[in-house]
Structure 1
């Protein structure tokens, strides 16, 4: 991907995000995370030069490789994939800005234990399976608030910063919207516990997600095509 293409892609996403956020409120700020899982370190560097700063990976080894390749750049790395327990220590060593896919209380306990051993802390989002789809991980919506509070109380090395979800995997926009609203309502209830980020919306549905209150989107193909 050349610089011109990167600038063009980023500009397009930014103007769509701007229009969508302004429809919510001029005070509504949305953070863009570039999902670089199918892209090269060179592509990430090109997008960085176009102005993008935050990137997300869904495999620990890819995150490691890209952060080594690009260590000269002040990038903000997010982990967005399913974390296997045997990779927890590796992820802790990479020190991501935000781990977005904390998908169960069991994983939180395991992560907390290993953070404790390394004397480290990690900022995380609780992943909610708002569409209740078998293909997705995450806590069920009706348990989300209870699990969130339990992690806050019992996992002192995890700094919970909010919630993340993936929109329903269907064509019907109303069903997708419902899944986003489910997450947003949970997020609103968690604000008193310090929840700051409601991460939802990907390349195909981020405008709808922003309309439903998302303040962090995860876009890959639209930035890296």
Structure 2
């Protein structure tokens, strides 16, 4: 990673981000070693939600290339502000169909596909924008159907939604995503939850070999996700710290 600091940014914030990023990278290195996986198999996606574009610029100066946002009203202006940077943008939050056109302008991957209407809306937006195919991941709910659980589709519906994405113009099926459940039989056991996601990902790849992305793991459970085969870990707080965010 480069040590070059963009002009006009406070050294203390740069050093905070450098330190947080270094700690997370060491955790990923150790988790890959423990799992017997090459470090190159795991991509760190830094979740910059609620933090200003200036932090995204500092992260880019430290070598970060993959960033994530979860609200279009924050992500769209930030992506525009950082359009000159060589960044890959991941949208990881729940997405309303009326925001599909905006998200399709800047996102390279949408991790939170959970219904057919959203597939249709994104396809229309991508085709209207005449942009390259948008990568899509099916968000899997592993909470056992609890009303208080995470968003996403039930495991038994993943294949159906994956097929729809793969067959829809303008979209590309990239893989699957989950968040460790707060309720249900797998609550409190991220290793078991991510193991279940790995089984689902294998089933999806059987029909769609190019859908290799497995997005799982955040600041508190990235090790368990990597052990279960995650290819992308989404980390925010552990990199950006407890600094008071904007918005």
After TM superposition, is the score higher than 0.5?
A: yes
**RMSD value, Cα:** 1.9
Once the two structures are superposed, residues 82-102 of structure 1 have per-residue CA deviations (whole angstroms, 9 ceiling, x without a partner) of 1111111111222x1211111
TM-score normalised per structure 1: 0.91
Shift of residue 14, structure 1, vs aligned partner: 0.4
1:8 to 1:122, Cα distance in 2 relative to 1, 3 A: same
Aligned counterpart for 2:159 among listed residues 102, 123, 145 = 145
Paired positions, count = 222
Q: Which runs of 5 or more residues in structure 1 are unaligned?
A: none
Q: Equivalents in 2 of 1:44, 1:116: separation in Å?
A: 29
**Secondary structure at the residue paired with 1:189?**
helix
Number of the residue aligned with 1:74: 86
Number of the residue aligned with 2:4: none
Alignment of structure 1 residues 121-140 onto 2, 5 Å: 121-132=133-144, 133-134=146-147, 135-140=149-154
**Secondary structure at the residue paired with 2:136?**
strand
Shift of residue 109, structure 1, vs aligned partner: 2.2
Q: Equivalents in 1 of 2:127, 2:49: separation in Å?
A: 29
Contact 2:180 2:190 in 1 (8 A): yes
Number of the residue aligned with 1:23: 34
**Secondary structure at the residue paired with 1:37?**
coil
1:138 to 1:46, Cα distance in 2 relative to 1, 3 A: same
Aligned counterpart for 1:114 among listed residues 109, 112, 125 = 125
**Runs of 4+ with >4 A deviation:** none
Contact 2:137 2:177 in 1 (8 A): yes
Q: Equivalents in 2 of 1:122, 1:4: separation in Å?
A: 34
Number of the residue aligned with 2:180: 167
TM-score normalised per structure 2: 0.83
**Secondary structure at the residue paired with 1:2?**
helix
Contact 2:67 2:89 in 1 (8 A): yes
**Secondary structure at the residue paired with 2:112?**
strand
Comparing 18-27 and 178-187, the one that deviates more: 18-27
Q: Which runs of 5 or more residues in structure 2 are unaligned?
A: 1-11, 242-247
Contact 2:100 2:118 in 1 (8 A): no
Alignment of structure 1 residues 1-225 onto 2, 5 Å: 2-27=13-38, 29-94=41-106, 96-120=107-131, 121-132=133-144, 133-134=146-147, 135-153=149-167, 155-169=168-182, 175-192=189-206, 193=208, 194-225=210-241
Higher helix share: 1
